[in-house]
Amino acid sequence: MRLPPLLAALLALSTTPAMADDLTLFAAGSLKAALTDVVAGYGEATGTAVATRFGPSGLMRERIESGETAHVFASANMRHPMTLEAAGKGGPVVLFARNRLCALARPEVTVTSETLLDVMLDPGTRLGTSTPKADPSGDYAFELFGLTDRAEALAAKALQLTGGPDSPPAPEGRNTYGWVLDSDQADVFLTYCTNAVLARKEVPGLQIVQIPEALSVGADYGLIVMDDAPEAAAELALYILSPAGQAVLAEYGFVAGGLPQPD
């Protein structure tokens, strides 16, 4: 009997050999709030402590490739963990959550979903994005540009303000995207809707603008357990994929496909 792909992946994860005692999770920065809570729940349920490292997924992948120890990697796209899988560093890769892009705008910007493209193209609008290749959020923003007939113009004016190896970090305790707009570095910033919600909690005057359907870009998040990880790494991955872990992700605005569906 052929197993469903997700079940097969879970069984494969659950047979990861135990090779170490310490457990380390590398994850996308957009997952920091949600996975911090998930890890806390996992610790309460199992008694296992997890060290977490959050940052742009592309840079996190490079850190793993350079030899840093990560037992589980949760990426904001599928490509980075699949690159590691193709290099023989772990697997299988499992899709565990989805996100989408929103626009975050300063309070004084006059913008709606219907006028967003015109506002982004306006020469007076400073348009911010994350850094493509280093941060999937930037890749998704440029993918959005490609859905318009003004892709080159949008790409040329985009200010790649976050997620790159040389991007200045937000002050300690500040939300990156709330800080970028609050400190007047951009007028409109394309980021994940989950990030936008957290930014507005910190800076209440910010506007969250939904992307028009014709330009909507979704983000698939991929999870991988690295080879030679301790058995607890597979248990953590399973916990993230479990209804308990998926419920936390859903609370933070992610689309969590692992939640039970109502009858």
- 122 and 58 belong to one structural domain: no
User: What is the model's pLDDT at position 2?
Assistant: 36
- 125 and 205 belong to one structural domain: yes
- 93 and 103 belong to one structural domain: no
Q: Please, which pLDDT band fits residue 260 given cuts at 50, 70 and 90?
A: low
Question: Is 20 inside any structural domain?
Answer: yes
pLDDT at 3 over 70: no
- 173 and 120 belong to one structural domain: yes
Q: Any idea of the CA torsion for 164, 36, 195, 161, to the nearest 10 degrees?
A: -20
Secondary structure (3-state) at 76: coil
Percent of the chain with pLDDT over 90: 89
User: What is the model's pLDDT at position 27?
Assistant: 98
User: What is the model's pLDDT at position 20?
Assistant: 39
Which tens digits make up the pLDDT trace of 88-132?
999 999 999 999 999 999 999 999 999 999 999 999 999 999 999
Q: Distance between CA 130 and CA 158 in Å, rounded?
A: 9
- Round the average pLDDT of the chain to a whole number and report it: 92
Which tens digits make up the pLDDT trace of 49-83?
999 999 999 999 999 999 999 999 999 999 999 99
User: What is the model's pLDDT at position 95?
Assistant: 97
Which tens digits make up the pLDDT trace of 195-235?
999 999 999 999 999 999 999 999 999 999 999 999 999 99
pLDDT at 243 over 80: yes
Contacts of residue 62, Cβ cutoff 8 Å, sequence gap at least 6: none
Question: Is 259 inside any structural domain?
Answer: no
User: What is the model's pLDDT at position 22?
Assistant: 76
Give mean pLDDT, residues 162-178.
Answer: 96
pLDDT at 13 over 90: no
- 152 and 119 belong to one structural domain: yes
User: What is the model's pLDDT at position 229?
Assistant: 96
Supply the range of the domain harboring residue 117.
Answer: 99-215
- 91 and 103 belong to one structural domain: no
Question: Is 119 inside any structural domain?
Answer: yes
- 50 and 68 belong to one structural domain: yes
Q: Distance between CA 76 and CA 175 in Å, rounded?
A: 18
Q: Please, which pLDDT band fits residue 157 given cuts at 50, 70 and 90?
A: very high
Paired sense of beta strands 24-28 and 72-75, if any: parallel
User: What is the model's pLDDT at position 15?
Assistant: 41
| DSSP annotation of 213 | G
pLDDT at 41 over 50: yes
At 204, which CATH number?
A: 3.40.190.10
Q: Distance between CA 178 and CA 186 in Å, rounded?
A: 11
Comparing C-alpha atoms, which of 156, 196, 193 is closest to residue 176? 196
- 119 and 209 belong to one structural domain: yes
Question: Is 155 inside any structural domain?
Answer: yes
- 225 and 196 belong to one structural domain: no
Question: Is 263 inside any structural domain?
Answer: no
- Report the domain count for the chain: 2
- 54 and 146 belong to one structural domain: no
Q: Distance between CA 121 and CA 77 in Å, rounded?
A: 27
Comparing C-alpha atoms, which of 100, 102, 106 is closest to residue 207? 106
Contacts of residue 234, Cβ cutoff 8 Å, sequence gap at least 6: 13, 14, 15, 16, 225
Comparing C-alpha atoms, which of 237, 228, 235 is closest to residue 17? 228
User: What is the model's pLDDT at position 4?
Assistant: 39
User: What is the model's pLDDT at position 87?
Assistant: 97
pLDDT at 31 over 60: yes
Question: Is 258 inside any structural domain?
Answer: no
Question: Is 261 inside any structural domain?
Answer: no
- 12 and 30 belong to one structural domain: yes
State the Rg of the chain over Cα: 19
Question: Is 35 inside any structural domain?
Answer: yes
- Whether 144 and 138 have beta carbons less than 8 Å apart is answered as no
Give mean pLDDT, residues 175-195.
Answer: 97
- 36 and 50 belong to one structural domain: yes
